[in-house]
Homo-oligomer: A and B are copies of this chain.
Amino acid sequence: MTESADRENETAKPAQQQETSDQNEIYGEDGSIRQDYLAAIGAAIADRDVLFLRDQVIPLHESELGDLLEAISGSQRQALVALLGDDFDFSALTEVDEAIRLEIVGALPNAKIAEALGDLDSDDAVYILEDLDEADQREILAALPFTERVRLRRSLDYPEDTAGRRMQTEFVAVPPFWTVGQTIDYMREEEDLPDHFSQIFVIDPTFKLVGGVDLDRILRTKRQARIEDVMEETRYRIDAEMDQEEAAQLFEQYDLLSAAVVDENERLVGVLTIDDVVDVIHAEADEDIKRLGGVGDEELSDNIISTVRSRFSWLLINLATAILASWVISLFDATIEQMVALAVLMPIVASMGGNAGTQTMTVTVRALATRDIDIYNAGRVIRREAAVGLINGVLFAAIIGVVAGLWFANSSLGGIIAAAMVVNMLAAALAGILLPLLLDKIGADPAIASAVFVTTVTDVVGFFAFLGLAGWWLALA
C-alpha cells in the first residue's frame, strides 16, 4: 500500500500544477494528513488564529476537511468548529465517523445547526439529521424555512437504509412538450438548480415521472427537437421504499449515474446519484467483511466500552460452541488417557477443517452478496465444493498421515488421523456451502452467522471423527 501511495503522490500532482493544487498537499506520501500541516493547524487553534485557519480550511474539499477533523483531537475539533463559525462547511460531517459527527453536532445549539443545514443538499442534511434524537430533529426542522422542512421531513419519513432516505430532493424536471431549446434557456435563467446534475427528468402535470434525458443527449440535439422525442423512458426508476442495497445493485448492473426516485403514486420525489451509491457499495462490503470477522458494525472511532460490548456477544457465542467441542472431547477422556498423542494431534484435524470450511464459506457468502449464486448453479457449486473438499482432504490426509505416523512412530495413528482428516474436510466443504445457503434461504444474513456455525461443525466433526476412530481402534487392539 505504501508503494502505490507513493506512486499516487508523484503522479496525481505533477510539478507544473502544484501552485494550483495546494489543497491536495495536505496529504503526505503515505496518504494520511501531513504531520507539519496538522501541527500548524493545531498551533493556530491554540492561538485562536482565525485568519490563518480560514485561509487553510475554507479551500479544503469536504472530504479533506473530514479527514482533518478525524486526525485532530476532540477538544481541537470543538475549538476549530467554534473558531470557524459560519465558515465551517457542514458537509464535511458526512465524511466522518458517526461518533465524531455526533460529538460535533451535539456541541452546537439547534438554531445554529438548522442554519447550517439550510445551505446543504438535502441528502447531506438528512444524513446529519437522521442520527440526532427526535426532540433535536423536531426543533431543527421547525427552525427551517417551509419548503426545506417539507423536503427533509419527507426523506426522514422513509425508513433508514431506503432509497428515499438517501435521495437528494433537488432535481431538474421539465414537461414533455418543451423543446430542447426551451429546456436549455430554462436552465440558463433558473437560479435555483441543484449544484450538480447529469440528467433531467420529464414529468406530467401531476408530477408523475414520464422519462429522463441525459445531459449529453440534450447537448447533441438541435434546439427545436421536443423533449418527449429525445427522452428515454426510465426503465430503472427506483421506488422510495426500496432498500438502498437493492438500488445500488441496479446502479451497478445498468451503469447508472443517477436515477429517479418515485413515491407510491409514481410521482417523482427525488434523485439518487452514483456518489451516494458508491458510499452504499463501500458500506455493504465493509459490513460483509466485518460480519465475517465477527465485529458487527464497529467503527474505528468507537470507544472502548462500546467496542467491548459489541465484540462480547460474538465471543460469548463462540465460547458456547467451544464448550460444546470440549464436551465432545470429554466423551473420549478415557481414550486420551490411554494415548496422550491423541491430545497432541487432535487440534490439527479441527484446525484444518476450520480453515477449509472458512474458505468455502467465504466464497459462498461473497457469491450470495454479489448474486453470483442462484438456484441454477447452486447444485453445480455444491458438487464442486464437495469435490474440492474431498480432493484436498485426501491430499492433506496423506501428508498428515505420514507426518503423524513418523512423529509417534505409529503407522496406525497415521492412518487414523488421515481418515479423520478426509471426513472433516468433506464436512467442512459441505458446511461451508450449505450453511450460508440455508441462512440466506430463511432470510438471515449469511455473513453474520455462518462463521460460528461452520467452525462449530468442523470442531465437533473433527474431534468426534478423530477421537472416535482412535477409541474404536484402541478397543480393538
Identify the A interface with B (CB < 8 A).
1-5, 7-8, 10-12, 14, 16-17, 20-21, 23-24, 30-33, 35, 38, 61, 63-64, 70-71, 184, 187-188, 190, 193, 196-198, 214-216, 218-222, 233, 235-239, 241-243, 245-246, 249-255, 257, 262, 266, 274-275, 277-278, 281-282, 285-286, 288-290, 292-295, 298, 300, 304, 307-308, 311-312, 314-316, 318-319, 322-323, 325-326, 329-330, 333, 336-337, 340-348, 350-352, 355-356, 358-359, 361-363, 365-368, 370-377, 381, 384, 387-388, 391-392, 395-396, 399-400, 403, 440-441, 443, 445, 455, 459
Contact = CB atoms under 8 A, between A and B. Distances in A.
Contact of A282 (B281, B351, B459): B281
Given A1-B440, A255-B275, A294 B359 contact: yes
Assembly stoichiometry (copies): 2
A41 to B, nearest CB: 12
7 contacts: A32-B375, A184-B219, A187-B216, A294-B359, A300-B377, A304-B384, A315-B359
A259 to B, nearest CB: 10
B319 A344 contact: no
A198 B218 CA distance: 11
Nearest to A298: B363
Contacts of A30: 374-375
A195 to B, nearest CB: 9
Contact of A198 (B216, B221, B356, B445): B216
A441 B5 CA distance: 12
Contacts of A351: 318, 322, 325, 455, 459
B311 A326 contact: no
Given A20-B233, A337-B337, A318 B355 contact: yes
A347 B459 contact: yes
Contacts of A342: 343
A295 B344 contact: no
B12 A250 contact: yes
For the complex of A and B, the 7 pairs showing the least CB-CB separation, nearest first, are: A293-B362, A11-B239, A32-B374, A285-B285, A343-B343, A215-B215, A8-B246
A308 to B, nearest CB: 5
A243 B236 CA distance: 32
Given A31-B371, A294-B355, A326-B345, A395 B196 contact: no
B323 A7 contact: no
